[in-house]
Structures are given as C-alpha cells and as structure tokens.
C-alpha cells in the first residue's frame, strides 16, 4: 500500500512520478516499487519487501549494493570536500585505469552521463571527419541528445524521423538510420556521401540484449575505414560489463572512439569518451571542439570509479564467473518456458543477460518488436510478486553481480518455475 501512496505523491510533483521514464513501469503495468535501500544482491522497498535485484541500477553495480570498499572510498574522499571544479589526481588515476585496458585509445575525457558522452563524441567525430552525417542503428540507444533520439521508421535507410516531440527535423536530418546486423543498409547510408561518423552499441542492450554478429562488425569497421568515417563503439552499458575490455573480448575490433558510463562510476554519475590522440586533441582547451561540465570528474564519482575498476582488475575470472550465473538464469528460463510451450530466446554476454518471448532469433530491432510484450508483462508481474526484480520492459537487459550466490540464484530459478506455471 505504501508504494502506491508514495508513487501517487511523487506524481503530484514530478512528471509521471519518475526522473527517467522506464522506471514508471508503463510497459508492464502496475506500480513501481519505491526503494528504501539495497544490500548486496537485494533491494528493499518502503513496505519492507525484499527483492533479488537483476537491474542493479541499470548496470553500474557489478559488485552489488553497499560494498564496504566502495563505501569507504566514497566516505574517505567526501571528507576532503565534495567538489572543487578544479583538477585532482583522482581523474588521472581513473583515466589511466580505463585506458590500460584499451591500448588503441590514447586519451579520455570524463563527463557525468552517457548522454553527454555520446553527444560529445559525435561532436568531436563530426569535427574530425568534417562531415555532418552520422549513421545510427534502429533500436540502439545512445542517450537523449537531439540528433541521437531518432528511431526506426519503416524505411530503414531513409532520413531519420525524430522519435521525440520537440526535436527539430533539422537536427534529425543528418542522422541516417541503418538496420542492426545488416551491412547492406549501412552501405546505402554511405551512398549519401555525407557520412563522417558511425555510432553503434557493439553489444546492443537497449532493444533487449542483441549482440552484433562478428562478420557484420568486421564489415562495418572496413566500411568506416574505407570511407574515412569515425567508428564509435558505445559501450556505456557493455564496458566492464561484458568483459574487462567490453565488446573487444568478443570481436577484437578497435573502434576509433569508445564511450563509457555505468560501471566506470560504480553507481555514481560518471561517463566518458575516449579515442585516438589525433581525435581527442581536437577537444577544448587544446582544440576547437567545445565540451565542458561543472561536475565533470567529480572527486566522489572518481573515487568510486577507481575503487570499482581496481576491484574488477583484482578479481580473477570475474566475467567468467558472472557469465556462469547469467547462464544459470537463462537456462532456467528456457527450461520453464519450454515446459509451458512458450517460445523464448535467450542470450548472455559476460554479466549481461536477456530474453525475448519470441519464436525466432532476434537480430535487429524489427525482430525484437515482434516479441510478445503481453507475455512479458505477465511474467514480470509474477516474478515481482515472488520477490525478483527484473527490468520492467521486454526491451531492456538484465544483469548479475558478484553477490548473486547459489541461494539467490536457486530462489530465482524457483520463482521462474512458479511464475510460468501461474501464467
């Protein structure tokens, strides 16, 4: 009851009661749970009900909630001051930590959200390539800046139409839409002659989990090189989630720029964009591309980022172990769905896992849209009732953290079995 009341109250003051739309549970129905606190792999709502958390703040919390080492790093740093708007050594330390795993990237700049990271990366890529046109893929999400907030029309390779009110046609007209995993659609976009930038989630996590095919990515890399276009891998989600090298572990492809977010802040507001020196040196104050931020490189955020990445690098076989947990869940899903005759597709990449109620493999956005969203809503509600917190949309990715253990995974398996039986 308390959840409902608190949500009603939120709606009086905040549009839709939330500060980011998917939190409102619109696509699964019902009321979102209002969170009181988290601990390890669990969330507790304001009614005191406990949930096994597979959202983990949409990715950042690879070690779960309230880890002592992260907490200590935060407190220690907070005691020295919350923000200075001036350089600290922490920024250099985090920059070095990240770049040490991406040896084809020379420099990195921090900002506060993934939206900023991709927006700034594109500005820089446009300046470098001296071309305004960009290619983005249907179903890939790169934050909510104007030129990236363009989704599928039916004519995939035609000029984009804005998917939000308030985005001027003029801003969206340089965004060319291509079909994920379809190299022909990319070639068509390049025919316009104005393409200088291609941005892609090499492991798409924002239409559900849809990894790109290796040959598609190799061809994409090739096309960009031939056409002198800057290739940006948006690894805001997959960076340090799929592996310690993001998608690189799976495809061995070096993009010209990479964007980061989520895990690199361990739950604090940090994102970043990185690239080869000749591109990054065009950034202000050295170059003519302007980009700035009052809280960019904030010391608290840097400290938690450093603590998170240091812990990642210290943990042996981290992603292999996490992947075992992810596979345990997707196998449980397959088994129980099939027993009930419900078509399902599942995938994992490192600590990321996803499933579609779909008869066919999902390779792109159109495939994803054919999934049974009503079934998803029913399943989500059943799982929530049984204390398992999944992303509240068919078109999102779920995660595991190091704190998910045998007990919480078996409890999840049990909830999955019971939920399918109850549908």
Ligand X SMILES: *Cc1c(COP(=O)(O)O)cnc(C)c1O
Closest to 256 (Cα-Cα) out of 124, 92, 70: 124
- Distance between start and end Cα atoms, the chain: 24
Nearer to ligand X, 206 or 345 (CB): 206
Site for ligand X in 57-116 (CB under 6 A): 113-115
Question: What are the beta bridge partners of residue 38?
Answer: 43
Question: Which residues pair with residue 211 across a beta bridge?
Answer: 203
Tell me how far apart the alpha carbons of residues 67 and 65 are, in angstroms, rounded to a whole number. 6
Choose the catalytic residue: 45, 53, 182, 234. Answer: 234
- Beta strand pairing call for 257-260 and 271-275: antiparallel
Angle at the Cα of 323 from the Cα atoms of 144 and 397, rounded to 5 degrees? 25
How many chain residues interact with ligand X (CB under 6 A)? 15
Reply yes or no on whether 234 is catalytic. Answer: yes
- The reply to whether 304 sits near ligand X by the rule CB under 6 A is no
**Which helix (DSSP H) or strand (DSSP E) does residue 414 occupy?**
helix 406-422
**C-alpha pair distances (Å), 13 with each of 6, 17, 31, 293, 412:** 11, 7, 17, 27, 35
Contact region with ligand X (CB under 6 A), list: 158-166, 170-178, 201-209, 325-333 = 201-209
Candidates 7-15, 136-144, 191-199, 372-380: pick the segment binding ligand X (CB under 6 A). 136-144
Site for ligand X contains 206 (CB under 6 A): yes
DSSP state, residue 56:
G
Q: Which listed residue (262, 311, 378, 403) is catalytic?
A: 262
Separation between Cα atoms, residue 403 and residue 388, nearest integer Å: 15
- Per CB under 6 A, 310 contacts ligand X: no
Which single residue brings its beta carbon nearest to ligand X?
114
Among 32, 64, 67, 143, binds ligand X (CB under 6 A): 143
Q: Which stretch binds ligand X (CB under 6 A): 82-90, 103-111, 137-145, 345-353?
A: 137-145
Nearest-approach distance from CB 272 to ligand X, in angstroms: 11
Under a CB-based contact definition with an 8 Å cutoff, are residues 309 and 245 in contact? no
131 labelled catalytic: no
- Contact between 237 and ligand X (CB under 6 A)? yes
CB of 23 to ligand X, least distance (A): 12
Q: 240 or 328, CB closer to ligand X? A: 240
Q: DSSP string spanning 367-390?
A: HHHTS-HHHHHHHHHHHHHTTEE-
Active site residue 141: yes
Q: Considering only residues 38, 64, 202, 205, which one is a binding residue for ligand X as defined by CB under 6 A? A: 205
349: three-class secondary structure by DSSP:
strand
| 141 binds ligand X per the rule CB under 6 A | yes
**Residue 340 to residue 345: CA distance in whole angstroms:** 14
Strands 398-399 and 352-356 turn out to be antiparallel
Task: Single out the segment in contact with ligand X by CB under 6 A; choices: 188-196, 230-238, 291-299, 362-370.
Answer: 230-238
Site for ligand X in 243-282 (CB under 6 A): 261, 271
Q: Looking at 51, 128, 141, 389, which residue is catalytic?
A: 141
Position 38 contacts ligand X (CB under 6 A):
no
Binding site for ligand X (CB under 6 A): 113-115, 118, 141-143, 201, 205-206, 234, 236-237, 261, 271
Catalytic positions are 141, 234, 262
């Amino acid at each position: 009851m308390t959840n409902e009341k608190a949500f009603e109250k939120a709606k009086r003051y905040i549009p839709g009661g939330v500060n980011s739309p998917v939190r409102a549970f619109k696509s699964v129905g019902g009321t979102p749970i209002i969170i009181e606190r988290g601990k390890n792999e669990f969330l507790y709502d304001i009614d005191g009900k406990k949930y096994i958390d597979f959202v983990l703040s949409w990715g950042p919390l690879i070690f779960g909630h309230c880890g002592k080492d992260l907490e200590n790093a935060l407190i220690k740093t907070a005691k020295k001051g919350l923000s200075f708007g001036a350089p600290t050594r922490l920024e250099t330390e985090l920059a070095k930590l990240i770049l040490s795993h991406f040896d084809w990237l020379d420099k990195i700049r921090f900002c506060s959200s993934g939206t900023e990271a991709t927006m700034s990366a594109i500005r820089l890529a446009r300046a470098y390539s001296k071309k305004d046109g960009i290619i983005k893929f249907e179903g890939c999400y790169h934050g909510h800046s104007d030129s990236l907030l363009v989704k599928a029309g039916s004519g995939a390779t035609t000029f984009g139409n804005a998917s939000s009110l308030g985005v001027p046609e003029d801003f969206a007209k340089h965004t060319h839409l291509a079909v994920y995993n379809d190299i022909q659609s990319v070639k068509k976009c390049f025919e316009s002659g104005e393409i200088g930038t291609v941005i892609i989630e090499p492991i798409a996590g924002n239409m559900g989990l849809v990894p790109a095919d290796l040959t598609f990515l190799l061809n994409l890399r090739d096309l960009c090189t031939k056409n002198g276009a800057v290739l940006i891998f948006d690894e805001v989600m997959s960076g340090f989630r799929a592996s310690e090298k993001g998608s690189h572990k799976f495809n061995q492809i070096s993009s010209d720029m990479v964007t980061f977010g989520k895990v690199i802040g361990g739950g604090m507001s940090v994102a970043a964009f990185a690239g080869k020196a000749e591109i990054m040196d065009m950034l202000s104050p050295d170059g003519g591309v302007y980009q700035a931020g009052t809280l960019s490189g904030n010391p608290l955020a840097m400290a938690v980022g450093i603590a998170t990445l240091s812990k990642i690098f210290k943990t042996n076989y981290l992603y292999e172990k996490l992947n075992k947990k992810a596979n345990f869940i997707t196998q449980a899903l397959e088994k129980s769905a099939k027993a009930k005759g419900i078509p399902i597709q599942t995938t994992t990449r490192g600590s990321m896992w996803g499933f579609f109620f779909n008869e066919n493999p999902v390779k792109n956005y159109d495939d994803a849209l054919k999934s049974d969203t009503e079934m998803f809503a029913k399943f989500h509600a059943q799982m929530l009732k049984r204390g398992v917190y999944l992303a509240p949309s068919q078109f999102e990715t779920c995660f595991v953290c190091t704190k998910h253990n045998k007990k919480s995974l078996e409890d999840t398996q049990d909830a999955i079995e019971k939920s399918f039986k109850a549908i």
